Chain A
């Protein structure tokens, strides 16, 4: 064997070191090491990778049932793709799914009601929560007091239908829906209006901000894209130059709150053309609203009104749309009837009354039948909050404490009752709940097309399952719930059926017009009008819990802790208000303080536009204590048919 010289030894050693270094460099290890070092020193979060896949589901929030595609990385959902959808709201779904404050298990109250802290609740099991509530329900129904069990739903959906059925079977008539386009229209007309926006050629919108979250945005946006191509004309009646008013082919800048009068004025002109609807008494009221009188009240010109009426009558398939607002709608029953009457007068085929087929009437036990005889009937939610009483209240996704003009009255009543809130996030009403049931986002729920793409969040379950589970534990009710889970109903529920004819109630119309006359009179004390505006994603408050929605709010709506209201320039000059100034707004009900004034001529003279959706007391750290809730000072006259407060127009002053 050859002896290794010192020189060779160094050569071999050097070669080995060189080879090792080369290998190390080319292996990528130093780069990876550097990357780790950077991540570690910068305390940077690195989203874990995983295999990419796409899951499909349906969004059943509206009748359009859009197909949604969810981009998955491993087990994580990272993006919602909605390439065939016209609905913007699907983009929010992941923020609810993975919300930092999502409720992960049924909660039972241990602390004082009304406290914001999560420590006021303890996590309990579904069995113990349902058992406790069912014991209370059994006792109440056994005492023939089932009518003291009430429920408030947000949307017309399967879980709401199940809650309605449970309340009916308990002998209660207190199943209410939050005032919305659908619930108000159903109360006023006996069915919701299915507008055919895709095939109409003339749309006359009475304050319905069609392109700002109104109705079913999906169908609306799809139809909107085609309007220009087809030559469909949109005429929008509004006090504020909103985006819908800017997109419209014609905008009628009306005095706030006088939409119903304009509808009657147009009906008056149509009547002279030989059209009629609504019976003798109704038409007698219409007769009084000549174009001249209408022009005087609405602030429009006689010529404008006549032109619109003529165009409406001449159009091939015109529709008149009622329901002022975007997501939050406030229209009196008289206004909804007056606008719908225009459709009837011209024989519109694009506005059809429909109802959703329910789950049928449950069989009543002797106890339930006895308590139903005791039950007081209320026209709607605000009427119930003001005049009704209850011992057990179910709140299904709704937030009446925040959204109702009677929130303060409800607060007192919630203190003493057993309140069960079904919601994925702790909203203002849930602050007064004794039990909070975590419910699902649509990504975790089964649809008519198939099973859910994602597993439910921790212990959250579908609201329908919670209600079925509870109903099965109540002796007088369980017979009416033959289903095991909501999935048994998901395929069949929700089919629209035709609704009967409209009863045009002339008495309600007369009473409304006389009260409107009083409101419209500019008083010395409250010279200004307050009307709401909305941002599409914030809506009437539901969107504010989502941090990406906060990112999209413009600086003249809410910035740096202050809500901005919009005031007409000349009016602001007269009132001595300058841009950005802090003002208080006072109505006969009270005062909202410390909002900033933005002077803009997009708002009518003598009018203040206030954004809805701000000023939550709870609803996660993102929505809490941001701005003020104008509902606190908004008008609260209760409508006789819808039972909802008509808060659209409020007389106010700046102080």
Chain B
């Protein structure tokens, strides 16, 4: 996935579409951030640490699970997968880091190991008061209390589209395309979703074209040259996320470095 931050107006439609699609629990005060369960967080960032009025700027960064794959894409080892004691989270053939709510025992190791704070913990039983129950999506199971949940790039839509393709006699798995809820809802089309393994996909062509604008969330290794990268990868497992951000603002890229 690639998200063009220059096009993002920070409206929050992605977060709301995500909550609707993925049966987010409803609490009386969901603005209570420690209690909040959501897959997609709309982060507001400014450069006012380094700049004074009127040289400041504001930008929004939609942040969801970055679907890491670790140093070796052939043998993906995201930070969360290697710590899960019950294989509740794993990387499937589709490259999506899955999370099975009903398998989770709530140890929260994965939440602690996630470099992007992309995981949420159900401290309370998810509730859907009154008629809110009517809008629940049957393809996403309701998590029980004490489990960790996270974004899976709406992989249930992928499965739905795959089944539909099979019904129509299409058996080539690569021919199946789908769009996650956040991507479909973006009013300014800031999200681009596609297959990173297919060099002809719109996503790959965009990332190829936008080399100067693309970056990944706090992934310092990206700035190093090939040799240093390899050397560092022998020492440490890097998350290597599959979500790219595009921006023309130098200060946003600057923020991604540790200072």
What are the interface flags for B172-197 relative to A under an 8 Å C-beta threshold, 1 for contact and 0 otherwise?
00000001010011011100000000
Q: Are A554 and B42 in contact (CB under 8 A)?
A: yes
Residues on the B chain within 8 Å of A81, using CB: 184
Partner-contacting stretch, out of B8-16, B110-118, B201-209, B221-229: B8-16
Q: Which DSSP category, helix, strand, loop or mixed, fits chain B's interface?
A: loop
A82, B53: Cβ atoms closer than 8 Å: no
Q: How far is the CB of B57 from chain A (nearest CB, A)?
A: 4
Which residues, 69 to 112 on B, are CB-close (under 8 Å) to A? Answer: 102
Residue in B closest to A627 when the chains form the complex, CB atoms: B31
> Assuming A224-B9, A601-B48, is B137 touching A79 (CB within 8 A)?
yes
What A residues does B6 contact at CB under 8 A?
Answer: 228, 247
Q: Is the CB of A547 within 8 A of B33?
A: no
Q: Which of A73, A537, A552, A626 contacts B29 (CB 8 A)?
A: A626
Q: Whole-angstrom distance between the alpha carbons of A555 and B44 in the complex?
A: 9
Interface flags for A524-561 (1: CB within 8 Å of B; 0: not) read 00000000000111000000000111111111101111
Q: Say yes or no: B138 contacts A48, CB within 8 Å.
A: yes
Shortest Cβ gap from B70 to chain A (Å): 30
Binds B, one of A4-12, A39-47, A151-159, A510-518: A39-47
Interface: B169 (CB within 8 A)? no
How far, in Å, is A83 (CB) from chain B's closest CB? 6
Assess whether A241 is in contact with B54, with CB atoms less than 8 Å apart: yes
A343 lies within 8 A of chain B by Cβ? no
A603 contacts B138, C-beta separation under 8 Å: no
Chain B positions 151 through 183: 1 when the CB is less than 8 Å from some CB of chain A, otherwise 0: 000000000000000000000000000010100
Tell me if A550 and B30 are in contact (CB < 8 A).
yes
Closest to B39 in A: A551
**A88 contacts B13, C-beta separation under 8 Å:** yes
Known: A88-B185, A224-B9. A621 touches B17 (CB 8 A): no
Q: How many angstroms from the CA of A343 to the CA of B191 in the assembled complex?
A: 35
Q: How far is the CB of A181 from chain B (nearest CB, A)?
A: 17
Does A493 interact with chain B (Cβ within 8 Å)?
Answer: no
Q: How far is the CA of A85 from the CA of B11 in the complex (A)?
A: 14
Determine, out of A16-24, A212-220, A348-356, A363-371, the stretch whose residues face the partner at the interface. A212-220
The complex places the Cα of A130 from the Cα of B60 at a distance, in Å, of 49
Given contacts A241-B58, A601-B48, contact A550 B135 (CB under 8 A): no
A536 touching B56, Cβ below 8 Å: no
* Beta-carbon contact of A243 and B10 below 8 Å: yes
A36 CB–B CB distance under 8 Å? no
**Chain B residues near A82 (CB, 8 Å)?**
184-185
Establish whether residues B56 and A241, one from each chain, have CB atoms under 8 Å apart when the complex forms. yes
Name which of B123-131, B210-218, B235-243 contacts chain A.
B123-131
A98 pairs with B135, CB closer than 8 A: yes
* In the complex, chain A residues whose CB is within 8 Å of the CB of B17: 91
Say which size band chain B's interface belongs to. 35 or more
Interfacial chain A residues near B132, Cβ < 8 Å: 95, 98-100, 547
Chain A neighbourhood of B179, CB < 8 A: 83
A604 within 8 A of B: yes
Q: Please tell me the size bucket of the interface on A.
A: 35 or more
Cα-based distance from A212 to B17 in the complex (angstroms)? 18
Q: Report the minimum CB–CB distance from A357 to chain B (whole Å).
A: 29
Structural contact, A601 and B11, CB atoms closer than 8 A: no
Q: Is A87 an interface residue (CB 8 A)?
A: yes
With A217-B187, A221-B187 in contact, do A47 and B138 touch (Cβ < 8 Å)?
yes
A322 within 8 Å of B (CB atoms)? no
- Kindly list chain B residues whose C-beta atoms are within 8 Å of the C-beta of A242: 58
Given contacts A218-B187, A601-B48, A605-B53, contact A553 B11 (CB under 8 A): no
A596 CA to B182 CA, complexed, in Å:
32
User: In the assembled complex, how far is the CB of residue A231 from the closest CB belonging to chain B, in whole angstroms?
Assistant: 15
Whether B51 contacts A77 by the Cβ 8 Å rule is: no
Measured CB to CB, the nearest residue on chain B to A571 is: B53
Which residue in B13, B59, B142 is a CB contact (below 8 Å) of A46?
Answer: B142
Any chain A CB within 8 A of the CB of B255?
A: no
> Mind listing 26 A-B residue pairs with CB under 8 Å?
A44-B144, A45-B142, A48-B138, A76-B135, A78-B136, A83-B179, A86-B188, A91-B17, A99-B132, A217-B187, A224-B7, A224-B188, A225-B7, A243-B60, A536-B9, A536-B12, A537-B13, A551-B16, A551-B30, A552-B12, A552-B38, A560-B32, A560-B33, A568-B53, A569-B48, A604-B54
Extra contacts besides A48-B138, A79-B181, A86-B187 (8): CB < 8 Å? A47-B142, A88-B11, A88-B187, A100-B129, A225-B188, A556-B44, A560-B32, A621-B28
8 closest A-B pairs by beta carbon, nearest first, are A100-B130, A88-B13, A253-B54, A47-B136, A550-B30, A100-B129, A98-B131, A211-B9
